[in-house]
Amino acid sequence: MSIWEKAVAELLDIIEWTDDSNDTMVWRFPRFDNEIKYGAQLIVRQAQAAVFVDRGQIADVFPSGQHSLTTNNLPVLTTLMGWKYGFHSPFKAEVYFINTRNFTNLKWGTKNPVMLRDQEFGPVRLRSFGTYVVRVSDPAKFIQEIVGTGGHFTLDAISEQLRNLIVSRFADALGECGIPLLDMAANYNELSSFLTKKIAPEFLEYGLDVTKLLIENISLPQEVEEALDKKSSMGIIGNMDNYVKFQSAQAMEAAAKNPGGDASAGVGMGMGFAMANQLGKMMTAPQESAPGAPPPLPEDGQISYFVGENGTRKGPFDLSSILGQVRDGGITKDTLLWKQGMTAWSKAEMFDELKALIQTTPPPLP
C-alpha cells in the first residue's frame, strides 16, 4: 500500500458497504493494517449485518443501523483487547459485512434419475427440478462454518453444496412418500413443504435459512413418456371402429376437395380407403361360414338342418320344423338336406329320422 493510501485510511472514519452485485454474501471491509479509529461510524444498511473478528475470533455482531465504535458498544471486543479505562486509540479488527437478504430463484435438480418402485408401472426412473430461496440467518455461524477468512464470498461458492443436499433429501423423501406416479403433480405443494421442513435443520447448521423450496417438475424418461402418451391417445380415441370410419370420411372429404391431385397420391388414398373399408367390415359385419362349412352350434344344443332348393340354401331348421315340412309336402324324399356332422348334401329319404314319415306321407297332388 502506498503512503497516500495509508494516509487516506488513517483519516477515514466511516465504515460501510454498498452492494451492487446480486450474488455477494460476505464482503470484508478493507483497512490498512486492519486499524479502525476509536469513535468511527459504522453504517449497516437494511438486509445487512456487520461482524467484527479479532485474531480469528468473532467479537461482536452489529445489526442494521448507525453505530459509533466506542468501548460502550464494543463490549466483547473491548474485553478481548483489555480496554479497561476507555483507551482512545485505533484498534485492530476485521469487519465483515453479511448480506442477509433473500437470495431467490436458486436452481436445483437431479443430475441422475431417481430409481423407485411405482404401484402401477413398477420400477421407474424419475427426474426433478425446482427452485429455492435462502438467506443468512446467523451471520456469526455463517462466518465461522462457511466463509472463514475469505474477503469476498459469493453464492456460487456454496450453491453446489446446497443443491446436492436438496437432491439427496428429495430422493429419500420421494422413495418414502409412496405417492403413485400419476398423482405426483397433485402433491407438489405437499412434497415441497415436507422437503423444506426436512432440510431446514441442516441449513441452520451453516447459519442459513431456506425460506421457500418449490418442486417445479417430476418427469419420466422420454421413451416412457412417449409410451404413456400412446396409451392416453388410445383412451381418448375410444371405439376403434368409429375412429376408422371417421378417418375414412375425413380422407374422402380431403380427396373431394383436391380432385386434380397427383395420380400416385390418388392411388395411395384409394388403397387406404379400401383397407379402411375392409377393416370396418371385418370389425362390424358378422362372419359368414364358408360354403359347405358347418354352421355354429345352436345355443340349446339341438341339431340344425339346412334345406337345398333351386340352388339356394335355407335354414337352419330344427328337427321339429323339418318334420312339419315333410308332413306339409314341402320336403319330399328327393329334397336335398344337410345337418351337422355330414360332409355332403343328401336326399331326405337317406335320413333315418325322416324315413318312416316320408314313406307314410303321400306325395303332393299333381
Residue 30's identity, in one-letter code, is: P
- Residue 363 confidence (pLDDT): 59
- Residue 261 confidence (pLDDT): 56
In this predicted structure, the answer to whether residue 264 has a pLDDT above a threshold of 70 is no
Average the pLDDT over 75-85 and give the result.
53
Burial state string for 63-77 with b = 16 or more CB within 10 A and e = fewer than 16 = eeeebebebeebeeb
- Residue 27 confidence (pLDDT): 93
- Residue 84 confidence (pLDDT): 43
More confident residue, 219 or 299: 219
Question: Residue 214: pLDDT band by 50, 70, 90 thresholds?
Answer: very high
CATH class of the domain defined by 103-224: alpha beta
What is the average pLDDT value for the chain, to the nearest integer?
A: 78
In this predicted structure, the answer to whether residue 159 has a pLDDT above a threshold of 50 is yes
More confident residue, 174 or 212: 212
More confident residue, 360 or 211: 211
Dump pLDDT digits (tens) for 35-75: 777 778 889 999 999 998 877 788 889 999 998 887 666 66
Angle, CA of 171, 173 and 176, to the nearest 5°: 110
CB-CB contact of 44 with 65 (8 Å)? yes
pTM score? 0.57
- Residue 267 confidence (pLDDT): 46
Dump pLDDT digits (tens) for 299-335: 555 678 899 888 888 888 888 888 888 888 888 888 8
CA–CA separation, 192 and 245 (whole Å): 48
Phi and psi (nearest 5°) for 298? -70, 155
Least confident range from 71-85, 140-154, 220-234: namely 71-85
- Residue 116 confidence (pLDDT): 85
Q: Within its chain, how far is the Cα of 344 from the centroid?
A: 65
Average the pLDDT over 335-362 and give the result.
83
DSSP 187-239: GHHHHHHHHHHHHHHHHHTTTEEEEEEEEEEEE--HHHHHHHHHHHHHHHH--
Max mean pLDDT among 28-32, 117-121, 306-310, 358-362 falls in 306-310
- Residue 277 confidence (pLDDT): 58
Task: Name the residue ranges covered by the structural domains of the chain.
Answer: 3-99, 103-224, 239-284, 305-360
Least confident range from 84-98, 110-124, 154-168, 279-293: namely 279-293
Burial state string for 257-283 with b = 16 or more CB within 10 A and e = fewer than 16 = eeeeeeeeeeeebeeeeeebeeebeee
- Residue 296 confidence (pLDDT): 54
β-bridge pairing 14-15 and 41-44: parallel
By three-state DSSP, how is residue 318 classified? coil
Max mean pLDDT among 107-116, 219-228, 266-275, 285-294 falls in 107-116
Phi and psi (nearest 5°) for 102? -75, 130
In this predicted structure, the answer to whether residue 7 has a pLDDT above a threshold of 60 is no
Average the pLDDT over 96-102 and give the result.
94
Average the pLDDT over 257-274 and give the result.
55
Where are the strands (E) in the chain, listed by range?
Answer: 14-15, 24-28, 35-36, 41-44, 48-54, 57-62, 65-68, 91-92, 94-99, 103-109, 114-118, 122-136, 152-154, 208-219, 305-309, 312-317, 336-339, 346-347
In this predicted structure, the answer to whether residue 204 has a pLDDT above a threshold of 80 is yes
- Residue 180 confidence (pLDDT): 84
CB-CB contact of 131 with 227 (8 Å)? no
